[in-house]
Chain A
Amino acid sequence: SQKIEQNSEALNIQEGKTATLTCNYTNYSPAYLQWYRQDPGRGPVFLLLIRENEKEKRKERLKVTFDTTLKQSLFHITASQPADSATYLCALIPGYSSASKIIFGSGTRLSIRP
């Protein structure tokens, strides 16, 4: 069966450290993989997109890697801050057209303590 799995436990790290979140998938061949941030009571907000032929993408303190052999994406937040505390969702897009689904993982709750 098709699955998207993220860190099952909440992640609690010290301010200033690098947070690393994991997204593993099975029985998908995604064309794109996206990461979203979701705050309590709000809808998800897009952070980064990476294509199947890309290994790494960066945006300010954020970095995403994509390994299609391992079927895994890692999401890193460097120099983490308490304001980074939120739930982070990975999402797979199986196809290249705008008629593709966007399929979400279960999310990882990240807490950054001062």
Chain B
Amino acid sequence: EAGVAQSPRYKIIEKRQSVAFWCNPISGHATLYWYQQILGQGPKLLIQFQNNGVVDDSQLPKDRFSAERLKGVDSTLKIQPAKLEDSAVYLCASWGQPNTEAFFGQGTRLTVV
């Protein structure tokens, strides 16, 4: 089966600019996660979708981050305006069943300068 696709792979922007990341999960997976991974740390959950509804966005900085999952398939994560501390890898994962594995994309490495 095809894996989780993310784009772009890398992005460099200046602070206060905006940026968007795209994720295409594995076909049929209802659950989609966006994680932020700062260098040397584990992935931190930003937002979780079940189909096209938000299950958990308690750790999403809503003043600058937004995410949507149209039609319960692809998802986009946006940052506007970006801050230096947003420099991280943004990982998308999709999940089919609770007793199975989650599949991750390769991530988008964001550098804010």
Contacts and interface: CB of A to CB of B under 8 A. Distances in A.
Interface residues of B, number: 30
Contact of A98 (B35, B56, B98): B98
Contacts of B111: none
A101 B42 contact: no
A97 interface: yes
A102 B42 contact: no
B47 to A, nearest CB: 11
B99 A106 contact: no
A89 interface: yes
Contact of A43 (B50, B56, B100, B107): B107
A61 B96 CA distance: 26
Contacts of B96: 98
A49 B48 CA distance: 20
Contacts of B35: 104
A49 B50 contact: no
B22 to A, nearest CB: 15
- Interface-central residue, B41, B42, B105, by most chain A CB under 10 Å: B42
B45 interface: yes
A21 B100 CA distance: 22
A34 B101 contact: yes
Contacts of B31: 98-99
Given A42-B106, A43-B104, A44-B43, A97 B98 contact: yes
B21 interface: no
B42 to A, nearest CB: 4
Given A44-B104, A93-B98, 12 more contacts: A6-B42, A32-B98, A34-B101, A41-B106, A43-B104, A43-B105, A43-B106, A89-B42, A99-B48, A100-B98, A102-B95, A104-B43
